[in-house]
Amino acid sequence: MSRVSRSQPPGRSGAAAGGTPAAGAPVVSLHSVRKAYRAGGSAERVALGEVTFDVGRGEFVCVVGPSGAGKTTLLRCMAGLAAPTSGEARFEGAPLRRVPDQVGVVFQDYSRSLYPWLTVSRNVALPLKVRGVDRAARAARIEEVLRSVSLADVGRQYPWQLSGGMQQRVAIARALACHPELLLMDEPFASVDAQTRFELEDLILALREEFSVTVVFVTHDIDEAIYLADRIVVLSASPGTVTEIVDVALPRPRDQITSKGDERFARHREHIMSLVMSRSAAARAARRD
| Structure confidence at residue 14 (pLDDT) | 37
- pLDDT above 50 for 21: no
Instruction: Give the integer Cα–Cα distance in Å for 189 and 203.
Output: 11
Whole-structure pTM value: 0.87
Instruction: Give the integer Cα–Cα distance in Å for 242 and 4.
Output: 8
**282 falls in which pLDDT band (50, 70, 90)?**
low
Residues linked to residue 209 through DSSP beta bridges, in sequence order: none
Determine, yes or no, domain membership for 122.
Answer: yes
Determine, yes or no, domain membership for 98.
Answer: yes
| Structure confidence at residue 289 (pLDDT) | 54
- pLDDT above 90 for 24: no
Same domain, 281 and 139: no
Same domain, 116 and 200: no
- pLDDT above 90 for 182: yes
SS3 category, 115: coil
Same domain, 118 and 78: no
Same domain, 96 and 149: no
Same domain, 137 and 45: no
Smallest CA-to-CA distance from 223 within 232, 214, 236 is with 232
Same domain, 161 and 198: no
Same domain, 117 and 166: yes
**Where does a domain end: 179, 197, 230?**
179
Same domain, 96 and 126: no
Residue 64: partners with Cβ closer than 8 Å, 6 or more residues away: 71, 218, 219, 220, 221, 222, 225, 232, 233, 234, 235, 272, 276
| Structure confidence at residue 3 (pLDDT) | 39
Determine, yes or no, domain membership for 167.
Answer: yes
* CATH number of the domain to which 248 belongs: 3.40.50.300
Instruction: Give the integer Cα–Cα distance in Å for 84 and 50.
Output: 10
- Tens of pLDDT, residues 37-84: 887 777 789 999 999 999 999 999 999 999 899 999 999 999 999 999
- pLDDT above 70 for 7: no
Instruction: Give the integer Cα–Cα distance in Å for 21 and 7.
Output: 12
**Which amino acid type is present at position 111?**
S
Q: Where are the alpha helices (DSSP H) in the chain?
A: 71-79, 110-113, 120-130, 135-148, 164-176, 194-211, 222-228, 258-261, 263-288
Neighbours of 168 (CB within 10 A): 30
Same domain, 236 and 190: yes
The residue-averaged pLDDT of 285-289 equals 52
| DSSP secondary structure string for all residues of 194-248 | HHHHHHHHHHHHHHHHHHT-EEEEE-S-HHHHHHH-SEEEEEPSSSB-EEEEEE-
**Where does a domain end: 138, 156, 179?**
179
The residue-averaged pLDDT of 200-225 equals 97
| Structure confidence at residue 20 (pLDDT) | 38
The residue-averaged pLDDT of 190-218 equals 95
Same domain, 140 and 87: no
Same domain, 68 and 199: yes
**Residue 137, Cβ density class (10 Å: 0-12 exposed, 13-18 middle, ≥19 buried):** exposed
Lowest mean pLDDT among 57-61, 94-98, 106-110, 150-154: 106-110
| Structure confidence at residue 279 (pLDDT) | 60
**Where does a domain end: 146, 179, 212?**
179
| Structure confidence at residue 9 (pLDDT) | 41
Neighbours of 129 (CB within 10 A): 12
Determine, yes or no, domain membership for 225.
Answer: yes
The residue-averaged pLDDT of 147-172 equals 96
Determine, yes or no, domain membership for 1.
Answer: no
Using an 8 Å Cβ cutoff, are 223 and 16 in contact? no
**288 falls in which pLDDT band (50, 70, 90)?**
low
Determine, yes or no, domain membership for 188.
Answer: yes
- Tens of pLDDT, residues 123-141: 999 999 999 999 999 999 9
- Domain that residue 18 falls in: 6-102+180-288
The residue-averaged pLDDT of 98-102 equals 93
Instruction: Give the integer Cα–Cα distance in Å for 231 and 246.
Output: 5
SS3 category, 3: coil
Same domain, 89 and 186: yes
- For the chain, how many structural domains are there in total? 2
| Structure confidence at residue 81 (pLDDT) | 94
